[in-house]
Amino acid sequence: MIKHISPTELAHYERLYRARLINSLSGYKSANLIGTTDKNGNHNLTIVSSVFHLGADPALVGMIIRPQTPKHHSLDNLETTGWYTINQVNSDIIERAHQTSASYPKDESEFLAVGLTPEFSAPCPAPLVKESRLKFSVQLQSAQELAINGTHLIIGLIHDIFVDSAAVQEDGYIDIEALDSVAVTGLDSYHLGQRITRLSYAKPNLPLMRLNTDGTPSA
C-alpha cells in the first residue's frame, strides 16, 4: 500500500521522526571519515554521509557540512589549512566510525577516542585513516555557505589516492564491494553492497549488455 505524506503532514512530524524520514529519501549514501588538522596540530575525524562525486577532470569531490553542530571543527580546520582527507568506511570499522559523530572537545583527537590510526602523506597536513582501504587527500577549492539553510558546500581537488590494489579493475572501476565499503541509509543504518550487475553505456535503440565486475561482457 502506498503511503502519501503531504507537506502539511510532514510539517507536523516530531523533529527526530522527520529527520529520520527525510534522511531516508535520497537513498543509499556514502560513508566517509573526514580527517583534518588544526593550526596547533590537533587532529579531527568525523563521519559524514554527504560526500558526492562532482567531476572527473579535474577530479573534484563535494560534500555538505553542518557547521552549527559542535563536532564540526572540521570546517574551521580545512579552511585554515586548505587540506582534508576522505576515507571510505568499511564494515570492520563501522562502530569506530559512527562514534566519531559524538561531540568531542576540540583538543581531543577522535582517533585516540575511538581507536583509529592516523597516517600522513605530504604535502597534506591532515591525517588519513590507516584502517580505511580507499582514501585520498584533498586540496580545498571552495567553501560556500548555502543561504537556504546555512549548510556549507565544500569542494576539493583530489590529490593523492591510496587504494587496495586488488580492487582496481582493468578499466579503472574500483570494486568497493571487495573492500567491504559500507553505505548509510537514514541517520544510522549501515549496509554492505551486493552487486546485481554492471551495465554497458546506454545508447538509444541499442540493447544494454550486462557486464562483469571487470567490465567484460557477461556470458
Which of positions 124-143 make contact with its own copies (CB under 8 A)? 134, 136, 141-142
Binding residue count for its own copies, defined by CB under 8 A: 110
Q: Quick one: 39 or 177, whose CB is closer to its own copies?
A: 177
Cα–Cα nearest to 154, from 138, 168, 142, 169 = 142
Out of 76, 80, 109, 163, the only residue in the binding site for its own copies (CB under 8 A) is 163
Q: What is the rounded CA–CA span in Å between residue 73 and residue 58? A: 27
Strand partners, 210: 199
Contact with its own copies (CB under 8 A) among 81, 140, 151, 152: 151
Closest distance between its own copies and the C-beta of residue 210, in Å?
9
Residue 31 contacts residue 47 (beta carbons within 8 Å): yes
Find the binder of its own copies among 12, 40, 122, 148 (CB under 8 A): 148
d(CA 66, CA 101): 12
Question: 10 vs 39, which CB is nearer to its own copies?
Answer: 10
Q: Which of 5, 107, 112, 115 binds its own copies (CB under 8 A)?
A: 5
Q: What is each CA distance from 113 to 56, 99, 110, 156, in whole angstroms?
A: 35, 9, 5, 27
Q: Rounded to the nearest whole angstrom, what is the least distance from the CB of residue 9 to its own copies in the complex?
A: 9
- Residue 42 or 101: the one with the smaller Cβ distance to its own copies is 101
Q: Report whether 96 contacts 130 (CB < 8 A).
A: no
Residues of span 188-207 touching its own copies by CB under 8 A: 188-204, 206
Single residue of 33, 34, 61, 126 touching its own copies by CB under 8 A:
61
* Contact positions with its own copies (CB under 8 A) in 21-40: 21-32
Smallest CA-to-CA distance from 46 within 100, 118, 127 is with 100
Cell of 12: 507536523
The reply to whether 160 sits near its own copies by the rule CB under 8 A is yes
Minimum distance from CB of 50 to its own copies (Å)? 6
| 74 makes contact with its own copies (CB under 8 A) | no
In the bound state with its own copies, the residue whose beta carbon lies nearer, of 80 and 190, is 190
Burial group, residue 47, by CB count within 10 angstroms (0-12, 13-18, 19+): buried
Cα 154 to the center of its chain, rounded Å: 12
